[in-house]
Amino acid sequence: MVDVFVSYKAEDRRRVVPLVQALEADGLTVWWDAHIAGGVDWRDSIEEHLDAARCVIVVWSKRSVGREGRFVRDEATRAQRRLTYLPVRIDKVEPPLGFGETQAISLTGWSGDRSDGRYQSVLSAIRSITSGEHPASRPTLRGPRVSRRAIMASASGAAAVAAVGGWFLFKPGAAKATSIAVLPFANLSGDPAQSYFSDGIAEELRAALARIPKMKVMARTSSEKVRDDDIQTAATKLDVDNILTGSVRRSPSTIRINAQLVDGSNGLERWSQAYDRPAGDALSVQTDIAQQVASALRLELSGSAAAANLGTTSNHVAQDLFLKAKATWQGNASRERLREANDLFDEAIKLDPNFAEARAQKAIALLIYTQTFAAGGAEYARDTGAAEAQARRALQIAPGLQSGFAAQALARIGKFEFKGALADWQKAYTDDARVTDTVAEYSRFLSSVGRSSEGFEWADKSISADPLNARSHQSKVWAYFCSGRYAEAAEAARGLLKWAGRRGSTLGRLGDSLLMLGKTDEALAAYLQCDPNYPSRLLGEALVAWRKGDRAGSDRALAQLTESYDETASFRMAGIHAQRGEKDLALKQLQRAFAVKDFGMASLPTDPWVDPLRKEPVLKALQARLDFP
């Protein structure tokens, strides 16, 4: 038997965590639905612990007092019957009718301080109930009480408005542009390993909501950065009008999804609904939620149902593998995680060969892997060809698939088909397209080939849609660097490092910018914060040593770059030799980079390290053959 059972609306979970932690710190045993084990029938588990608990804290909030709070009301009713009911409030609300006789303790604005008098009142009441004694006096509500007569009058008035003039609330009109963030859905399955599924549901909803005209949808990375914030704080950080949040409870046979649309300015609920469906029916739930959100915001989904499901699968096992694959590498694109993700994508495709989105995402993950970790030209060529084949097949299955065009663009860059890559990027990112992680790669491509104004434009769009994603801001740093604005590039890189942490790509670009500004010691300090074998660090160390007159040190860094990356670092080696005045060696490495399709050649028009070679016929001929857009 536990001391305390906590009843609350699932979507308030992050707000209830401090209460649970405080009670446990004070030596009480607490049960709440986060303790439900995977595979357990959650209804039976809740009922068992509810009926056994010595005290039941019922958390009343804007959500739990609403029409979707029926489970909380059911649990409160049982607690009242057993004389174990203890109500607390985390919002300025009145408990529903029938639950107001016992005064509720207000914890509105409480942040977890165990010395706070309000929490001490909760603790005292729990101890009185668990000891079998009724408190001598109940804590009083803070703020005015609303009488039953007032509630009934308010309800009657609302009914009259609905019956007589309700059309005014929903009358047609021109919908205003609005914005929304879908926060990661809480995983209530009792198994932390299932988080990929609840996070994946939220990501699929972002894609569905992106089909709503006049709707700006915040991208995944930024939305996940605010997963632990309250609604209004999250809305402020992301600068959005609305928040969609919810929870997922999954068992082998069923799935329960709760979803709430909340006004970001005041935290009031606009719409909410619970869905109990078979385990493989998540796709239909996602579509319905998107439709309900559109309706609540007086907007309309665009396109047909077929368009909504473009590139998806009806095989729920394949869908599960797909979500797991994306979660495996996004946010941590290490060699091992990218390999694991590619294997999972392969399993999903094997189960459903027409799963176009899985093919496109497989291509993207494979290209990121090979461009970063390929051991040589043969592996690079093999993987680039395999990725292109996946992207092409994805577009055959689902013409118009955004991720398919993005994947094909990345593959074409790897094959030096730059005009074709630009055409694919432009198909992926039209003016009204959903901004995803790959838009940072689009911005980088534009900046690399010398289309700087467009590079800045798409970097800004990426930052607007994903402001807490370091990759978005990194694309702006790159745009500054490629356009020769080194002081601004260094300033932007420093700003990014303050909140995004130590990232090799950012530190490398900071070092490069400082070196171009003649700040050799500051540049070296930046390079040395990268991993010892990071290619940008080795290039930087070679150039800094050369400028300091340390030929041996420069040679050591160059040798380590050659040993670690061989021909796939040919373009970087060309830059080192060019800066050292070794033109013949530099041109030889450029020709080698061209032959092995070194990805660095995409920045040949703008890379400052090869500037000493600009007048050389060999470089001019190579640039002409590459046919940059």
Mean pLDDT in each 10-residue stretch from start to end of the chain (629 residues)? 90 87 91 68 80 93 85 90 91 83 83 85 88 50 33 32 30 62 88 85 86 85 88 92 90 84 86 81 76 77 52 88 89 84 96 96 91 77 92 94 94 93 94 80 95 95 92 95 97 94 91 97 96 93 97 96 90 97 97 91 96 96 93
What's residue 33's pLDDT?
Answer: 80
On whether both 67 and 107 belong to a single domain, the answer is yes
What's residue 151's pLDDT?
Answer: 26
What is the distance in angstroms between the CA of the first residue and the CA of the last residue of the chain? 71
Kindly state the tokens that stand for 275. Answer: 């869905």
On whether both 261 and 324 belong to a single domain, the answer is no
Question: CATH number of the domain that 372 lies in?
Answer: 1.25.40.10
Instruction: Report the domain count for the chain.
Output: 3
Amino acid at 287: T
Q: Name the domain boundary from 434, 462, 494.
A: 434
Question: CATH number of the domain that 93 lies in?
Answer: 3.40.50.10140
What's residue 266's pLDDT?
Answer: 85
On whether both 294 and 323 belong to a single domain, the answer is no
Residue 355 forms part of a structural domain: yes
Q: Name the domain boundary from 112, 130, 148.
A: 130
Question: CATH number of the domain that 237 lies in?
Answer: 3.40.50.10610
On whether both 103 and 194 belong to a single domain, the answer is no
**Rg (alpha carbons) of the chain, rounded to whole number:** 29
On whether both 102 and 182 belong to a single domain, the answer is no
On whether both 250 and 351 belong to a single domain, the answer is no
Kindly state the tokens that stand for 480. Answer: 């500054």
On whether both 284 and 322 belong to a single domain, the answer is no
On whether both 228 and 287 belong to a single domain, the answer is yes
Residue 528 forms part of a structural domain: no
- The pLDDT tens digits of the residues spanning 56-107 come to 999 999 889 887 788 899 899 989 888 899 999 998 888 888 787 677 888 9
Measure the CA–CA gap between 186 and 245, rounded to whole angstroms.
8
On whether both 287 and 354 belong to a single domain, the answer is no
What's residue 38's pLDDT?
Answer: 52
What's residue 620's pLDDT?
Answer: 95
- Three-state secondary structure of 370-423: HHHHCCCHHHHHHHHHHHHHHHHHHHHHCCCCHHHHHHHHHHHHHCCCHHHHHH
pTM of the model: 0.71
Neighbours of 515 (CB within 10 A): 25
Residue 143 forms part of a structural domain: no
Residue 190 forms part of a structural domain: yes
Sheet of 30-31, strand order? 30-31, 4-7, 55-60, 85-89, 105-106
What's residue 41's pLDDT?
Answer: 63
Residue showing tokens 């490069």 = 512
On whether both 315 and 282 belong to a single domain, the answer is no
Residue 350 forms part of a structural domain: yes
What's residue 437's pLDDT?
Answer: 79
- The pLDDT tens digits of the residues spanning 41-52 come to 677 778 888 988
On whether both 15 and 119 belong to a single domain, the answer is yes
Domain region containing 356? 310-434
Residue 246 forms part of a structural domain: yes
Q: What is the dihedral of CA 483, 486, 488, 489, to 10 degrees?
A: 80
Could you give phi then psi for residue 604, rounded to 5 degrees?
-55, -40
On whether both 232 and 265 belong to a single domain, the answer is yes
Q: Name the domain boundary from 94, 111, 130.
A: 130
Taking CA 488 as the corner, what is the angle to CA 620 and CA 545, rounded to the nearest 5 degrees? 65
Measure the CA–CA gap between 416 and 612, rounded to whole angstroms.
23
Kindly state the tokens that stand for 593. Answer: 């980079």
What's residue 486's pLDDT?
Answer: 97
Residue 17 forms part of a structural domain: yes
What's residue 412's pLDDT?
Answer: 93
Neighbouring C-alpha atoms within 13 Å toward the C-beta of 109: 5
DSSP one-letter code for 628: -
What's residue 88's pLDDT?
Answer: 94
Residue 47 forms part of a structural domain: yes
> Are 354 and 313 within 8 A, CB to CB?
yes
Task: Please state, in angstroms and as integers, the Cα–Cα distance from residue 125 to each residue in 58, 540, 569, following that order.
Answer: 13, 65, 68
